[in-house]
Structure formats: C-alpha cells, structure tokens
Amino acid sequence: MKQTLTVLGATGSIGQSTLDVVARHPDRFTVYALTGASQWQRLADQCRQFKPRYAVLADPIHAASLREALAGTDTEVLSGEDALAQVASAHEVDTVMAAIVGAAGLLPNLAAARAGKKILLANKESLVMAGDLFMRAVQEQGAQLLPIDSEHNAIFQCLPPGFTDTAHAGVSSIVLTASGGPFRGWGRAALDAVTPDQACAHPNWSMGRKISVDSASLMNKGLELIEACWLFGLRPDQVEVVVHPQSIIHSMVRYQDGSVLAQMGNPDMRTPIAHALAWPERIGSGVADLDFLTLGSLDFEAPDLDAFPCLALAFEAAKGGSASTCLNAANEVAVDAFLDQRLGFNDIARLNADVMTRLAGPVARSVEEVLAQDQEARALANQWLRHGNLSGSKSL
C-alpha cells in the first residue's frame, strides 16, 4: 500500500531531495500536498510532476500567481498558516516531511504530531523552541518521529531497535560530527570581514543560505545538540561535538562497554531521507556507494569555541528553560541581518548572547507562551540591530 505524503517546505533543499527519492519509487509513494514559502514557480513545476491534491504558499500574493499557473490542473492552491496545518494533519496523510526552515515550521509540525502522523523531522527548530510540548504531543497521540538531519538520523541508525532510553540501551553518550564549515581553522579576527557568499559556500553540503550560515558559525551544530537531547533523552553533558571535515561519519554512539557505533556514507541528504521514508525497510536513494579505496583519511578535531562561540551558547541553552527558544529567535534575526549585510559575522554570536542572557527564563507551558517568547526575543534582537548592543537600552 502506498504512503501518502505531505511535504512541508517542498521548494527548499530537503524538500527537493525528498521529491527526488519519491520519484524513484512511484509504486511506494503518492503526494497529497506540497508547500513552499515564496518560490511559486518551482512549486508549480513540482505540482505538475507530482500532481498533489493541494499546494500551499505562505503568502497569498504568491499563492495567486501559483493558482494562475496551475489553472486547468487538479491541484487546489491554498495559503496561510491554517492551510499548512490542514495539509499536515489531514486524515488522508500518512507521512509528513517537516522541512520548513526556522520557527515557521513549529505550528504545522505540531499539528502533524497531534494528528498522530509519521513525521520525518528536518525542522530542528520545533524541538529547539518547544521540545517538551512537541515530544509530549508525539507520545500522547502515538505519532512516529524519525529524524532527517544527517547527524540525528545517523544516531537513530546506531541505536538498538526499540530504543526507549539510554540507561536500558547501555548508551553512555553520543558524538555529533561537524564539518567545520567554510571557515574551519580561521581565527575570530579573520572572521570579522567574511561575506554572506563566503559563509554560504559550504565545502561538503548543498543547503539553503540560512542553514549554510548556521553551519559556518557552528550554530547549526548547537541547534542539533539541543535537538539531540530531546530526540534521544540525553543530558547536554552526554553530547560531544567533534569536527570531522570529510563529512563521511555522520555521527556516533558510545556504549558503556567501550563500543562506538558510527554511521557512514557520502554527504548527500537523500540517504537519511530514503532511510526515514522506508523505515524499517531500505530503499534506493540515488546516492553513490562509499568507495573506501579512494576515501583517503578521516580527520577529527575539537571545535574552536573561541572563534565560534555560538556552539558554546547552545550548550548553555540546552540546560533548560526558555533559553533555547530565545537563542533560536535571536539567531534567525541575526542571520537574516547578516545575509542582508546589515550585521557582521562575529556580531551574530554577540547579538545571540545578549538576547539569550537578557530573556532566558522558565520553560513555556503552552505553544502560546512559546510563540510569545519567540516574538519577544525577535523584538529585542531587532532593537540590538538598531543600537549595536543592549547596554543602556530600555526594557521592552
């Protein structure tokens, strides 16, 4: 029987890779809905190929353009947050690829969890912002949560079948590998003058610009650290980050008997996507086999927390409360400003630290409180951009 999919964030890099895998297995998958932010032309092409029942764009103006482009087809075009939640929770849908970038993915992903769907989680912000609420919804509604980030998918593959908690599985810790990004080995002073194009030129992975900047600052690894704690029930001190520039070992699990299990493969997101789509089976992904005879050396080094302090901020935020929500919101504002050349690369960490320190408090008890914390942090981050710091600024 075919799986029926909704792909949230179909026009991004993860969404495109998902549809590439789906197209290789027309006997296994059918597409119910595709969503995007603003790239309506790309979404139109995807709709013509996969013929979903619904297409959703966040912006109604772009949705009108898409509606005109798809006139005469069977795809109905919707717009707005409610429509995203609708196609994520529809009873016809078996599986939701959660690939919207940033905080915008929280509400539709939560709708999918509350509807008990199989969720392929590529949107780490859902757990960074609202880990307790999201995981509780997954458990209470019997949803199935499969990680898509290459690191978390690797850990999932290295854990024993039926994993429930670290103590009973004999897990002592996990190792998240990081490529180090385009600025590996650079000192903090040299990073002052880097440009958005330099930050987005990742040596191993093809990603969107926001996540590419996060990778360059090591914030992406920090967000993955927080996500890993929620996904696998770990304390921050059970998560180690190791720079591995070849991106061949995607992450590792240390066991109490001294064993270390690693998942390896070429750096291509179609591998974890195919793994999660077919789990517990295996299907072809289109990724080339790893050739050990031409692989060369595998190198490892400690991350430089002085040059890349965003990772240290994430370790602190992972201890609990609202710190991770505030950190994520501030970082989204900071990265947007950096890409728009309104903020220097090193100032991303300074802005993030100021906002997180100022606002971090108790954990949110509802999604409304999460969204309020998110908005307050964004407002303070924008205030930082106007003044260059928060010292002497009036409280909000």
Report whether 206 belongs to an annotated binding site: no
Distance (Å, whole) CA 9 – CA 18: 10
The pLDDT score that the predictor gives to residue 395 is 36
* Contact of 4 with 92, CB cutoff 8 Å: yes
Report whether 109 belongs to an annotated binding site: no
Q: Are 34 and 139 in a shared domain?
A: yes
Let me know if residue 278 belongs to a domain.
Answer: no
Report whether 125 belongs to an annotated binding site: yes
The pLDDT score that the predictor gives to residue 394 is 38
In the listed set 148, 182, 206, which residue is the last one of a domain according to the structure? Answer: 148
The pLDDT score that the predictor gives to residue 390 is 67
Helix residue spans in the chain (DSSP H): 13-23, 40-50, 60-69, 81-89, 106-114, 125-141, 150-158, 166-169, 188-191, 196-199, 209-217, 219-232, 270-278, 310-317, 323-339, 345-359, 367-387
Q: Are 354 and 259 in a shared domain?
A: yes
Report whether 151 belongs to an annotated binding site: yes
The pLDDT score that the predictor gives to residue 1 is 83
Report whether 321 belongs to an annotated binding site: no
Report whether 244 belongs to an annotated binding site: no
Report whether 389 belongs to an annotated binding site: no
Report whether 124 belongs to an annotated binding site: yes
Report whether 13 belongs to an annotated binding site: yes
Let me know if residue 233 belongs to a domain.
Answer: yes
Report whether 210 belongs to an annotated binding site: no
Q: How many domains does the chain have?
A: 2
Q: Are 122 and 192 in a shared domain?
A: no
The pLDDT score that the predictor gives to residue 387 is 87
Q: Are 217 and 234 in a shared domain?
A: yes
Mean pLDDT, contiguous 10-residue spans, the chain (396 residues): 96 96 98 96 98 95 96 96 97 97 94 98 95 96 96 96 81 96 94 94 81 94 96 95 96 97 97 97 96 93 97 96 96 97 96 94 93 96 88 42
In the listed set 114, 148, 182, which residue is the last one of a domain according to the structure? Answer: 148
Report whether 208 belongs to an annotated binding site: yes
Q: Are 49 and 14 in a shared domain?
A: yes
Q: Are 189 and 131 in a shared domain?
A: no
Looking at the DSSP bridge assignments, the partners of residue 253 are 174, 261
Q: Which amino acid is at 81?
A: E
Let me know if residue 271 belongs to a domain.
Answer: no
Q: Are 19 and 165 in a shared domain?
A: no
Report whether 346 belongs to an annotated binding site: no
Report whether 322 belongs to an annotated binding site: no
The pLDDT score that the predictor gives to residue 230 is 96
Let me know if residue 272 belongs to a domain.
Answer: no
The pLDDT score that the predictor gives to residue 393 is 43
Report whether 11 belongs to an annotated binding site: yes
Let me know if residue 283 belongs to a domain.
Answer: no
Q: Are 138 and 187 in a shared domain?
A: no
In the listed set 91, 113, 148, which residue is the last one of a domain according to the structure? Answer: 148
236: domain range? 156-266+294-392
Report whether 149 belongs to an annotated binding site: yes
The pLDDT score that the predictor gives to residue 392 is 46
pTM listed for this prediction: 0.93
Report whether 123 belongs to an annotated binding site: yes
